[in-house]
Structure 1
């Protein structure tokens, strides 16, 4: 009986250990995928890069970090990440501003510089239809199955980053944003949310949204998300440093080189 108890306890401990190891492996994979998503932010020219190219570029990107020192602290790493992020954020803001003007022109079908609720909701109906894969009037798990895997986001990132605008890029994200706690979204649910957005954008309440009102509302949301996202990107930098350092207080060029191989492998997944 005692032997059986010991064996049972051993099996439980082995199972628990296996679960922990599996969780650790998943966490490591997520960290490498996260690193690749950040890498892709700085290399938009890479449409389908090989693992070897990603490994090479990742190593080269950090070479300047070790130009004047052999060892880099977490603080220095974070400062480096922020310094290379700033110009990218500035560029993306400029692009988003231009795109907001372009979107208004597309929404304003009558081209009279007066965006009506009808015009605004016509675009919403097209968006809903795009997610409603089987055209049954509901967006649910069945549509997610039909849509298949999605490896990108609406703004071109390989994966969701904190600086991504919170817009759904797949069925599950659409349900999470507009389902109000349900596991499906009706057209009415979605158009009601867009109603609210329209009237909040119409700042002078004249039932017409001008181009300036439309652009101002979008850029206000963009800037709020950018402020929050920038702070969260710093947190990601800290997480990446820990993954590279593996318990050390500083990192060296060889640590980056070894980590780059893992990031390259993650790019192929």
Structure 2
């Protein structure tokens, strides 16, 4: 069974070996910062120290990933192979995101522990709730997290710093508004559930354990959604509906992805590619 490590190694190897095939012609001053779309593409596919990816490099990488996905080496990719390879990579992203969230728990705990006695009292917890509620009152018209933030956090953990996050965390009756009674009830229930030893305050271990539980529940939901989406993508890419994806079918999505990032059409994704116009086709960046 081919693994994520093999795919990562292939990415580094094939792009480095194909570097000599890249040609660029500069006819105007080159921007120093890539557009968001080009930057996202380069973040996935450029080798370390490189600031561009040519079509030849990208196609070579795609062929290597296709071969790695074909775990039984029969020359084609079936649905389960496609899903398994995607989930291997997605699991790495989820694990990284989970570790990052847990790293922040100590910082959050210390911020809530205003008297620095190593515990969050109910008064300190409620004071934080008042600050959260005041922020929500000022920002009920705020938008949800940006697409860039969602990309950075595959776990998509809701946060009380956004209006949509507040709804997900506290809107118990799902009417699109968080009222104070809902907020207070949910906060009180969370404090009680977190206070495992029932001593009226929260230790770092209790605080972390409660958050870990929510992280893992969210991971299960997000991973299940990712698997469903992968199966939908396979069905869309398997254009002849024979249950087997050829490289040509597989590469159709890669071509769309590259074309969107290579917005100036010169065959190279780099800082010279302007942001695509609004409404331009957006290819899925995970395949």
Pairwise CA distance, 1:252? 2.7
Conserved? CA contact 2:102–2:208, under 8 Å: yes
Unaligned runs of 5+ in 2: 1-33, 46-57, 68-72, 261-280
Conserved? CA contact 2:78–2:244, under 8 Å: yes
* TM-score, L = length of structure 2: 0.61
Asked if 1:151 corresponds to 2:139, the answer is no
How many residue pairs end up in the alignment?
A: 210
Residue aligning to 1:180: 172
TM-align CA RMSD: 3.4
Distance 1:260 1:170, change over 3 A: farther
Residue aligning to 2:38: 50
Quote the Cα distance in structure 2 between the aligned partners of 1:96 and 1:160: 9
Distance 1:235 1:69, change over 3 A: same
Asked if 1:120 corresponds to 2:139, the answer is no
Conserved? CA contact 2:144–2:164, under 8 Å: no
* TM-score, L = length of structure 1: 0.65
Unaligned runs of 5+ in 1: 1-45, 135-142
Quote the Cα distance in structure 2 between the aligned partners of 1:166 and 1:52: 23
| CA offsets 1:100-133 (integer angstroms, 9 cap, x no match) | 1221111111111110122122222222333323
Distance 1:129 1:64, change over 3 A: farther
Residue aligning to 1:266: 282
Segment drifting more, 171-180 vs 206-215: 171-180
Conserved? CA contact 1:65–1:80, under 8 Å: no
Conserved? CA contact 2:78–2:245, under 8 Å: yes
Distance 1:262 1:129, change over 3 A: farther
Pairwise CA distance, 1:207? 0.3
